[in-house]
Amino acid sequence: MHNWPKESAKKSMKLTTKGRFAVTAMIDVALFNHGEPVTLAEISARQKISLSYLEQLFGKLRRHGLVDSVRGPGGGYNLAKAPGTISVSDIILAVDEPIDTTSCGGEKNCHDDSICLTHHLWASLNAHIFTYLQGVSLQSLVDDAKARKNPSLHVVQDLRKTGTRAVPIAA
């Protein structure tokens, strides 16, 4: 018998390239935000992410309170909180619009005793993934990036071919 971790899952999170782009962009903001707001055009050039797409992503990041925007010339984005207080799970949940599901990933047929065969398994996996991403702060990613020998920070993995699609993840 497997010892299931407690499943505190409520929402389901998805892991897509969108989330990965968002994390990369947030690292970029954290790295280059020295007083002046960072513009999306800069991020686009450095990280090779299209401006249009960044606009879409940062709209969600802003609405979820992860960045503050400054409009007009000289504007751009600042982190809304200290990077140590922003977790990867925060970023992914912001851009991937998790569906607020009920237990069992929003499905029926899975309550009381007639619980589905794999309910615990997936719920527990979701919880594991979420807990892991929650434990990684933007600060730690920034520190990791700064520690690299070559601080050019220009070349970034092209996420688009890495394998994409989502997974329901406990939140």
Binding residues for DNA (CB under 7 A): 14, 16-18, 21, 37, 39-41, 50, 52-53, 55-56, 58-59, 62-63, 69-77, 159-160, 163-166
- Quote the CA–CA distance of 91 and 63 in Å, as a whole number: 12
Is 82 near its own copies (CB under 8 A)? Answer: no
With CB cut-offs between 5 and 8 Å by kind, which of its own copies, DNA, none does residue 136 bind?
Answer: its own copies
* Residue 25 phi, psi dihedral angles, 5° rounding: -65, -40
CB 33, min distance to DNA, A: 12
Assign 3-class secondary structure to 131-161: HHHHCCEHHHHHHHHHCCCCCCCCCCCCHHH
Is residue 132 a contact residue for its own copies (CB under 8 A)? yes
Question: d(Cα 42, Cα 46) in Å, to the nearest integer?
Answer: 6
Residue 35 or 72 having the CB closest to DNA: 72
Strand-pairing partners, residue 32, are none
99 binds, among its own copies, DNA, none (CB under 5 to 8 A by kind): its own copies
Least spacing, CB of residue 71 vs its own copies, in Å? 27
d(CA 92, CA 3): 28
- Shortest spacing between CB 157 and DNA, in angstroms: 12
Residue type present at position 97: E
